Structure 1
């Protein structure tokens, strides 16, 4: 089995993949999962470190709602790459169930499973209520849930209820964030931290500084370790990359309008799709520093600048691309930049 230092790196840091399992217009989740398997096998051969999937609900264009299920499917179709949740929205679930699900995954695929935890619902408020057996769970209870989860995974849990499988398993826990809350909690608990700069660029540097400045070593982690998300859409020319990127722009626009859709094919003249106010909002969400679009040279310079700005220990790359061949090629171009 490969260890982490055997994976290819960019500027001496590992590169990983965030797959939102996009559902294309005129397609369905079954096709999405087949493409995710193809992508996972492709990036494993290319030398990427991790492959993460994210929990979303009531989103026509994202199929990874049952995150642990699709993780198991991907892990079974790959050989050595780490497979993870980026993340599970813990307030949506009973903590014991997550311990058992990830204990099962770790038992099936030893030393390959990551558990990233978020505190947002991963959708709208009505869907958040629909996911919960009771309505009294709040995101403010997130630290308590993290403590419960760590107890279930410990060798000698305090709880009378045991996670089987789960108890005694060494499953890395990451806290995910798009603000300062999880950065502060990850630092306090001495856990891995992953920041979603691919959709919250403005908070990236402050959150990372907060995490590093306040980090307390733990039994899990001696020094702070931050993985930072970035959108990358690479093609053989800048012009083609910007054309391909209009699918991502349309997705953000539909979410902003409160009417999320399936992933749309790329279009010409994307500017005709939005108002000046919408354009400004999209520019803020898809900041060129955290949404890198272009040719191999453009992407190389963009990733170098991103790593220099964030001092990321690892970069996780999201690429919402409509055509599968363009998606595979985008990650191939990034892999060619690895040293």
Structure 2
């Protein structure tokens, strides 16, 4: 099976580190991805999360692009209801103008934040209702065929930055199929509807100027290491961090110990959070290859976009290398 491999970089801020440390790690990660043959690296828009530094997504893309040469970079994704389509067209039109042929724009409709943060961003709960119309408006700006008379994206018009629809439900699958765009499913943290959504997308897909046939990207988590026990220990650290980020919000929240987190993971709520990382490849290179091949085959994915979660950047870079070598060896 010929399978394209890409990376989702969550720009994590590890304990004791700063956002600047995270940005430098993202540059190292993208350079490694470029060196080892990954297709693209994407960054996701999140807000008010101390452990994720990619809130100003287009700015981060520009910074990493300036420190790399060939790899595609993009948003996975921009939460479009947080923004005016014209603003995003201008931002990504600027990126495409500066780094031609290297920029992607994945679009989602979630807030990328909690309810209080939504209010701080001047977004209301109904903002996502216009997502399909906003996608078409944005597409028009980038194609130089504005749907708003007298308004053009400068820069942006005619850049035709490729769009992708992101989703974790049937809604995104239906939209991506209707407008003929590639579909990226967020199975790295929301696995439940993956197979149903992909089946719907392929069944209802309508060809477009951008895409003649359905194209499916599926997300997975990866921790590859030279030693399987080391990989499992890294995964335990990552899983505890994930749980803490979901149950510990705000400065008044107590700092839960590892033992308390492990006890919580035995509860129904804990198991539910743990299941969000259902599609996680952990182990040696051969373990990871076997998992990713089976995962991709189960959904007939055209491309896997993997999040390397190791907390230490050196371990993350090793995971990037081992995974690339394993998957390239599988294609040989």
Short-chain TM bin: over 0.9
Judging changes above 3 Å, is the alpha-carbon distance between structure 1 residues 242 and 197 closer, same or farther for their aligned structure 2 residues?
A: same
- 1:250 is displaced (CA, Å) by 1.6
The 5 Å alignment of 1:10-89 reads: 11-89=1-79
1:272-283 pair list within 5 angstroms: 272=263, 274-283=265-274
Q: 1:335 aligns with which of 321, 324, 327?
A: 324
2:249 corresponds in structure 1 to: 259
- Give the deviation of 1:210 after TM superposition: 0.8
**Corresponding residue for residue 195 of structure 1:** 185
> How is 1:177-192 mapped onto 2 (pairs within 5 angstroms)?
177-192=167-182
- Does the aligned pair in 2 maintain the 1:61–1:260 contact within 8 Å? no
Supply the distance in 1 between the matched residues of 2:224 and 2:217 (Cα, whole angstroms): 20
What is the TM-score with the length of structure 2 in the denominator? Answer: 0.93
Once the two structures are superposed, the pairs formed by residues 1-339 of structure 1 within 5 Å of their partners are: 11-132=1-122, 135=124, 138-159=127-148, 160-259=150-249, 271-272=262-263, 274-287=265-278, 290-337=279-326, 338=328, 339=331
User: Partners in 2 of 1:91 and 1:40 — Cα distance?
Assistant: 28
Note closer, same or farther for the CA distance 1:276–1:158 as it changes in structure 2 (3 Å cut): closer
Q: Given the superposition, is the C-alpha separation of residues 330 and 280 from structure 1 closer, same or farther in structure 2, using an over 3 Å criterion?
A: same
Q: Deviations over 1:205-240 (max 9, x none)?
A: 001001000000111110000111000111112211
Q: Which runs of 5+ in 2 are unaligned?
A: none
Tell me if the contact between 1:175 and 1:182 (Cα under 8 Å) persists in the aligned partners: yes
Distance 1:300 1:156 in 2: 43
Q: CA offset at residue 167 of structure 1?
A: 0.7
Q: Secondary structure at the match of 1:208?
A: helix
Q: Secondary structure at the residue paired with 2:218? A: strand
Would you say the 8 A contact 2:181–2:211 is kept in 1? yes
Give distance in 2, aligned partners of 1:155 and 1:257: 45
The CA deviation at 1:280 is 1.6
Q: Is the 8 A contact 1:51 1:84 kept in 2?
A: yes
Paired residues, what number?
A: 323
CA RMSD of aligned residues (A): 2.0
Normalising by structure 1, we get a TM-score of 0.91
Alpha-carbon distance in structure 2 between the residues aligned to 1:16 and 1:151: 27
The 1:109–1:58 alpha-carbon spacing in structure 2 relative to 1, beyond 3 Å, is same
List runs of 5+ in structure 1 lacking aligned partners. Answer: 1-10
| 8 Å Cα contact 2:144-2:152 kept in structure 1 | no
